[in-house]
Structure 1
Amino acid sequence: MVRILRGLAHKYFSDEEAVILFLLLVTGTFFIIWFGAMLAPAIASLIIAFILQGLVTKLKRLGVPEFAAILGVFLVFLGILVGVIFGLLPLIWTQVSTLAGEAPRIIGELQSYLDLLPQQYPHLVSAEAVNALYEQISQEVGNITQWLVSFSLSSIPDLVALLIYVVLVPILVFFFLKDREVLVGSVGRLLPPQRPMMVRIWQEVNQQCANYVRGKALEIFIVGGVTYVVFKLLGMPYAALLSLLVGLSVVIPYIGAAVVTIPVAVIGLFAFGWGTHFIWAMVAYGIIQALDGNVLVPVLFSEVNNLHPVAIIIAVLFFGGIWGLWGVFFAIPLATMLKAVFAAWPVKESAPPPTAKE
């Protein structure tokens, strides 16, 4: 056992820089786990600044002065933030409340559909199974409705936290953009002066994660916007809520699209019934998903090393279990970072020198 551990240490930790990087990764992981909730505004601001930095860099390449580029990008970010807070969020909340109010009618119609299954498919579906499913769905919808009713009182602390986010995040984003070089230099002075492996890993991670995060933000905006326009033209109810769900579903490849199809199909079925209008709505939704997967994703992520679907699912489960929703959202960038670290990690193939006893 000692020989095996010594061989692994010689193979993967012979380089002093590798040991330092390993300690930094472990320390940073535990720091985020323990203090992530406390530092959530700073982490969110850092991620937003990371996304916006690409636009600042492009403007600088076009000859725009650095401060003017930073100020212009920051004002665009403020405009989008104000539009989301005062435009999108009230609309989403209104549609969620309306949907909760119509939940009893939807449940009643769902029961009528479920009652037909044992008659049409007696060998596959039993009446007991349908009743159990109906009771479970009714209970879950009741819990959601109860949560919505009590939201106004129980969510006061959350509203205070939201106000803190609204104030702190824009301020932090501005300073992260404005003083980027100073902050990066300060972190660099804490590291060893000779760090070729860390520089190589940082360049790879910066390129891969930057392309992914910025591309994913643009994909959410495009897919959500197109879905909203199409659903509005088709007369689909709750178009804003559904388009938000469809846009956010692209964060989790494969799983997100499969999960969000259920509410889209359910709301479309109860709005239009089983007919031509419902079929056209689902066909339009399928075309959007197909264009996203076969056209938009290859264009936006042409410079990103694709991860295997198994690796994506494992990353979503692992990081989602650790950090919840944030872990799900950043599972693929984190997996991409780990892939870059493993690819650049120095490996010494030669056997370790024998000890005196050997």
Structure 2
Amino acid sequence: MENKKNRLNRYHDNIFVRWFLDNRFSIVLLNLLLFFLIIFVFNKISFVLNPFWTFFNAILPPILVAAIQYYLMNPVVDFLERKFKVPRLVTIIVLFILVLGLLIWIINSLVPVVQKQTESLIKNWPDYWRDAQRSFDHMLHDPRLSSVRGNINDAVADAQSKIFKNSQDSINLAINNLSSAVSVVTMIFMTLLTAPFVLFFMLKDGHKLTPYLAKFAPTRLQPSFSSLLHDINGAVSAYIRGQITVAFWVGVMFAIGYSVIGLNYGLTLAVLAGFLNLIPYFGTFISMIPVVILAIMNSPFMLFKVAIVFAIEQTIEGRVVSPLVMGNKMNMNPVTTILLLIGASAISGLWGVIFAIPVYAIIKIIVTRLFNYYRTISDLYEEDENKPDNDDKKLSKE
């Protein structure tokens, strides 16, 4: 009887060991349970983290502005230091002087033109709108549209009421949130004031950051962790430099195209297109909305010329500029990118669209590294020892 009881105990122990203690799937499930349990607990005590989030939100804007400029200027600093032994401090000071001179030139030359065109557009917009309404009313009285005239009138009236309501809501919201507007202006001022200092020290000591962070990893993992940081830095820098470079050339191409076809407010619309091109895939199409409206108000032939400019710009950008600047550095399928941007916009709006691709690239690098590490320790991905490798194939061919 006692032997039978011992056998049952050993049997149950073996089942427990096999199904729970010595089962990787069960261990993974337990780790996931603990992970989500930790998230649940932090969600319940989120008020404890509010001061940290406030502090983080305060320092984030100048760090972001400085980081963007860092990725644009750091390659120049590294190249001159490596190739010509120029001290980093000297290169940084020269770059700051050049950037300051460029800003002064933009303020004196470009900003007045854009400001003049913007003021003219705002001043003449009622006339443009009346002309568009007149053209639209004339189109509605076309006998060929008699069958759908009622539906069109209802749709236009509904759209006008919604636009009026949204405008009133926006005005009321702006009046009620004057304190928020003051805080935004203060944040912009503090960002412009502190970002150059952050940028200076990032350029001066940024190359020491990766070795410094690698020291916090275990000694055995320091080379892998340093390589991971290097890959993440490369992906982020490639994305930022690529997007800004492409946006600049998009603005230049639209400025040239609009000036050739004689479109009113062409420089302002080109600058807008350059800024909106920082939103991947959708930015250029959004920037075309005011262009199409102004072209329609001008003449049908102007709309045709705008379409030609847009087609030429998209061809040059897609076939020349983007491949040369971006290449395949992000290694992302266009369908994946579009779906990612749609999901990110639904979750976080404009900020989600802007940061979706670099965040995805960072997560992809980390997950790929973890998967490769799992392959080395797992028995599921053992290579066939009898299968000849590439070197054996080369030798056999020879």
* Interval containing the TM-score (normalised by the shorter chain): 0.7 to 0.9
Once residues 136 and 337 of structure 2 are traced to their aligned partners in structure 1, the CA distance between those partners, rounded to angstroms, is: 35
TM-score, structure 2 length as denominator? 0.69
CA, structure 1 residues 139+82, in 2 after alignment: closer, same or farther (shift >3 Å)?
Answer: farther
Higher RCO (C-alpha under 8 Å, 6+ residues apart): 1
Task: Check conservation: 1:42, 1:169, Cα contact below 8 A.
Answer: yes
RMSD across aligned positions (CA): 3.9
CA, structure 1 residues 249+163, in 2 after alignment: closer, same or farther (shift >3 Å)?
Answer: closer
3-state DSSP class of the match of 2:329? Answer: coil
Of residues 231, 237, 259 in structure 2, which corresponds to 1:210? 237
Task: Check conservation: 1:114, 1:130, Cα contact below 8 A.
Answer: no
- Point out where structure 2 has 5 or more consecutive residues left out of the alignment: 1-18, 32-49, 381-398
Once residues 179 and 31 of structure 1 are traced to their aligned partners in structure 2, the CA distance between those partners, rounded to angstroms, is: 29
CA, structure 1 residues 311+253, in 2 after alignment: closer, same or farther (shift >3 Å)?
Answer: same
Is 1:173 equivalent to 2:194 in the alignment? no
Count of residue pairs the alignment pairs up: 332
Instruction: Give the structure 2 partner of residue 243 of structure 1.
Output: 270
Once residues 149 and 229 of structure 1 are traced to their aligned partners in structure 2, the CA distance between those partners, rounded to angstroms, is: 40
Of residues 264, 277, 280 in structure 1, which corresponds to 2:291? 264
Any idea what the Cα deviations from partners look like across 1:179-232, whole Å, max 9, x if unmatched? 213444443333333234433332322222222211211111111122123323
Task: Check conservation: 2:214, 2:225, Cα contact below 8 A.
Answer: no
CA, structure 1 residues 36+331, in 2 after alignment: closer, same or farther (shift >3 Å)?
Answer: farther
- What are the within-5 Å matches in structure 2 for residues 166-315 of structure 1? 166-193=192-219, 194-270=221-297, 272-275=298-301, 277-315=302-340
CA offset at residue 49 of structure 1?
0.9
Once residues 192 and 228 of structure 1 are traced to their aligned partners in structure 2, the CA distance between those partners, rounded to angstroms, is: 54
- What are the within-5 Å matches in structure 2 for residues 91-102 of structure 1? 91-102=113-124
Instruction: Give the structure 2 partner of residue 334 of structure 1.
Output: 359
Instruction: Give the structure 2 partner of residue 162 of structure 1.
Output: 188
3-state DSSP class of the match of 2:84? Answer: coil
3-state DSSP class of the match of 2:374? Answer: coil
Compare the two structures and name the one with the higher helix fraction.
2
Aligned identity (percent) is 22
Task: Check conservation: 1:45, 1:172, Cα contact below 8 A.
Answer: yes
- Point out where structure 1 has 5 or more consecutive residues left out of the alignment: 14-29, 352-358
CA offset at residue 304 of structure 1?
0.8
Is 1:56 equivalent to 2:74 in the alignment? no
Task: Check conservation: 2:280, 2:354, Cα contact below 8 A.
Answer: no
For residue 164 of structure 1, what is the amino acid of its counterpart?
M
CA offset at residue 297 of structure 1?
0.6
Any idea what the Cα deviations from partners look like across 1:254-284, whole Å, max 9, x if unmatched? 32222222111112222x3222x44223311
- What are the within-5 Å matches in structure 2 for residues 25-174 of structure 1? 35-39=55-59, 40-67=61-88, 68-84=90-106, 88-89=110-111, 91-115=113-137, 116=139, 119=142, 120-121=144-145, 122-123=147-148, 126-137=152-163, 155-174=181-200
TM-score, structure 1 length as denominator? 0.76
CA, structure 1 residues 196+189, in 2 after alignment: closer, same or farther (shift >3 Å)?
Answer: closer
CA, structure 1 residues 153+208, in 2 after alignment: closer, same or farther (shift >3 Å)?
Answer: closer
Task: Check conservation: 2:210, 2:229, Cα contact below 8 A.
Answer: no
Once residues 103 and 347 of structure 2 are traced to their aligned partners in structure 1, the CA distance between those partners, rounded to angstroms, is: 28
Any idea what the Cα deviations from partners look like across 1:276-303, whole Å, max 9, x if unmatched? x442233113211221122111111124
